[in-house]
Amino acid sequence: MKRSNRFAHVLSVFAIGCLLSLGAIGTATADWLEVPTEKFKLADIPEIKNKRPIHIALFGGTKQFDIEIPKFIKKFEDKTGIKVTHEKMIMTSIYPKMNVELMSGSGAYDLIVMETSTTCEWAPYLWDVRELAAKFEPDGVAGLERDLAGHDPALLRTTQDRDGKLRGIPYWNYEQVLYHRLDCFEDPIEKANFKKKYGYDLRVPVTRKQLYDTAEFFTRKAGEKLKGEVLKKDLYGVALMAGRFEINDEISSMIWGAGGHWATIVRDENGKAIEFVITKRDKRIQKEAIEHYVSLLKFASPGCLTGFWDFCCAQFVEGLAIMMPNLYLVVEDWTWQVEKKVPGAKKGMALCVGRQGYIGDFAECVAKASKNPEASYWFMKYLGGYEAQKQLMEGGFPGVRRDIMGNPMYQNDPKWKKPIGDRAYINSLALQVQNNYVGDYIHFNSSAMGKIYEMQIIELHNAAIKKYTPEECVKVITKKTMKLQKKFGQLPIREEK
């Protein structure tokens, strides 16, 4: 892209970002998202020579995906003549189960499901996707590259190891955004009361202070009023995933949005990673992020201390929480229900405070122990390909492909604007922001990150329940990150004192 065009592109993104941060999804053209690509479909799969059955692991987290996946499998079986069995897993079982099977070389799974913070850790046990393409694509690697051109580059980076080898193909994206009750932010009574109390205009938060003030403002007891109506139940300003599940994703977002890291990656003059350093600045930003998170818990239901995304969504949909500051876009089709359940409710979406919501995805990856890597390769490409992803996206999934997200039809056709167009806009914007940073996160550069990730969940929850102070939590996480990286990682790590 030429410099002038790139500048215009950035301005377009900024303008749309302003609309989104106000909770109003704009009607501007989506041409800036379009990427003309070859539209890979089931019919493009060639004759597969290896007819052995394959067994695949998949993350199962939404009703819509659980309905569609058996259909995809049946179509693949009918086209190829290869029997496919599958196993659905939840987030908490994926790491321990897949880790054992991969390290033992059992071959129990031909295709494994990978949460991409484990990409570098599992890389030795997974085929390089381009190596498989060279073996099985009629046009060699060029055939794969034409399809990859339609994928989001930030998500592809999460499925690459530190050396740039692609270890899987994304099919499920869960970028975080800020969900909010737009009707409450637009209400004249609420706007006037907020201005009187805080001295500035009520708006969807873009700073930590605004998020704190807004969370405080909307937290009310039963019997108080919201938009002039008496509340029958307690109302909370925010819903947070403070249980021992995915609290680390929320706090990672806050750290990244403030310009910090769990560990800063250091590169040589050629761009090669040479070490991690947990800098003084990193530790300060970590402490401030944890302090901010804990402070917000005053404005969240006590149930958040044992809940994760499902509890947060239930709170929001039932009209019991005004904002979910860092929640996954994959639940977006559920959150619309607030407009049916709560009279006058309008849902809005914006970038998270700091603009760097947690970036993650699930990818299908071919295990080196697979007895049929050929069929596994083609199912992996099919599930992440244009045809399957378009069907999933039109059913409520967030996209992993920019050649679908950028289709102007979803912005211009009223039939698609609300169910897909708004989600495509915020998803694309969030991913474009993260594309500038994702290559430097420890999540996608450390072969110990799977273990570090699990450790963070436990220790950050301990801070949420006040077992530790934020400062003590940073010390514990720093010590354990150092230990795990030194034992299981490949790059050296040190702490700046």
At 172-193, the pLDDT tens digits run 998 999 999 999 999 999 999 9
Band of residue 382 on the pLDDT scale cut at 50, 70, 90: very high
SS3 of 482, please? helix
Q: Is the dihedral of CA 177, 183, 186, 188 positive or negative?
A: negative
Band of residue 259 on the pLDDT scale cut at 50, 70, 90: very high
User: Are residues 319 and 202 both part of a single domain?
Assistant: yes
- Beta-sheet pairing, 493-495 with 229-230: unpaired
| pLDDT score at 397 | 83
pLDDT surpassing 60 at residue 167: yes
| The total number of structural domains that make up the chain | 2
d(CA 314, CA 169): 31
SS3 of 249, please? helix
SS3 of 400, please? coil
d(CA 223, CA 230): 6
Lowest mean pLDDT among 70-74, 114-118, 131-135, 405-409: 405-409
Under 8 Å between Cβ of 326 and 178: yes
| pLDDT score at 256 | 98
d(CA 450, CA 119): 8
Which of 411, 434, 457 is the endpoint of a domain?
434
| pLDDT score at 38 | 79
Q: What percent of the chain has pLDDT over 90?
A: 84
**Residue 305 belongs to a domain:** yes
**Residue 10 belongs to a domain:** no
User: Are residues 185 and 164 both part of a single domain?
Assistant: no
Band of residue 419 on the pLDDT scale cut at 50, 70, 90: confident
Pick from 316, 128, 156: nearest CA to 240: 316
pLDDT surpassing 90 at residue 406: no
User: Are residues 312 and 220 both part of a single domain?
Assistant: yes
Query: How far, in Å, are 77, 262, 400 from residue 174 at the CA level?
Result: 28, 20, 9
Indicate which CATH number applies to the domain containing 485: 3.40.190.10
User: Are residues 349 and 379 both part of a single domain?
Assistant: no
**Residue 155 belongs to a domain:** yes
User: Are residues 125 and 242 both part of a single domain?
Assistant: no
Q: What percent of the chain has pLDDT over 70?
A: 93
- The predicted model gives 156-175 an average pLDDT of 96
User: Are residues 341 and 396 both part of a single domain?
Assistant: no
Token output for 38: 């070859």
**Residue 150 belongs to a domain:** yes
- Can you spell out the DSSP letters for 309-341? HHHHHHHHHTTSEEEEEEEEGGGHHHHTTHHHH
User: Are residues 237 and 352 both part of a single domain?
Assistant: yes
- The predicted model gives 437-453 an average pLDDT of 97
User: Are residues 379 and 460 both part of a single domain?
Assistant: no
Band of residue 35 on the pLDDT scale cut at 50, 70, 90: low
User: Are residues 363 and 351 both part of a single domain?
Assistant: no
Token output for 259: 């310009």
Whole domain around residue 459: which residue ranges? 177-358+445-497
| pLDDT score at 5 | 36
Lowest mean pLDDT among 1-10, 110-119, 167-176: 1-10
- The predicted model gives 439-457 an average pLDDT of 97
**Residue 25 belongs to a domain:** no
- The predicted model gives 194-205 an average pLDDT of 98
**Residue 372 belongs to a domain:** yes
Under 8 Å between Cβ of 364 and 113: yes
| Per-position b or e across 340-378, b if 16+ CB within 10 A of its CB | eebeebebbbbbbbbbbbbbbbbbbbbbebbebbbbbbb
pLDDT surpassing 60 at residue 1: no
Mean pLDDT of the chain: 92
Q: Which residue has the higher pLDDT, 254 or 67?
A: 254
The model carries a pTM of 0.92
Number of H helices, E strands in the chain: 23, 14
Token output for 169: 């193909």
User: Are residues 148 and 62 both part of a single domain?
Assistant: yes
- Can you spell out the DSSP letters for 96-115? HHHHHHHHHT----SEEEEE
User: Are residues 169 and 311 both part of a single domain?
Assistant: no
Q: What is the pLDDT of residues 264-273, one digit of tens each?
A: 999 999 999 9
**Residue 151 belongs to a domain:** yes
d(CA 258, CA 172): 27
Which of 387, 412, 434 is the endpoint of a domain?
434
Band of residue 63 on the pLDDT scale cut at 50, 70, 90: confident
| pLDDT score at 36 | 64
Q: Please, which residues bridge with residue 401 across strands?
A: 151
- Can you spell out the DSSP letters for 205-236? --SHHHHHHHHHHH-B-BTBEETTEE-SS-BE
Q: What is the pLDDT of residues 324-369, one digit of tens each?
A: 999 999 899 899 999 999 999 999 999 999 999 999 899 999 999 9
User: Are residues 381 and 266 both part of a single domain?
Assistant: no
Pick from 392, 320, 316: nearest CA to 349: 316
Q: What is the pLDDT of residues 275-315, one digit of tens each?
A: 999 999 999 999 999 999 999 999 999 999 999 999 999 99
Q: Is the dihedral of CA 482, 483, 488, 493 positive or negative?
A: positive
Which of 434, 454, 486 is the endpoint of a domain?
434
**Residue 5 belongs to a domain:** no
Residues 487-490: contacts with CB within 8 Å, 24+ apart? 487/448, 488/121, 488/447, 488/448, 488/451, 489/276, 489/446, 489/447, 489/448, 490/120, 490/162, 490/447
Band of residue 418 on the pLDDT scale cut at 50, 70, 90: confident
19 CB-near residues (< 8 Å, 6+ apart):
25, 26, 28
d(CA 226, CA 239): 17
SS3 of 87, please? strand
| pLDDT score at 347 | 97
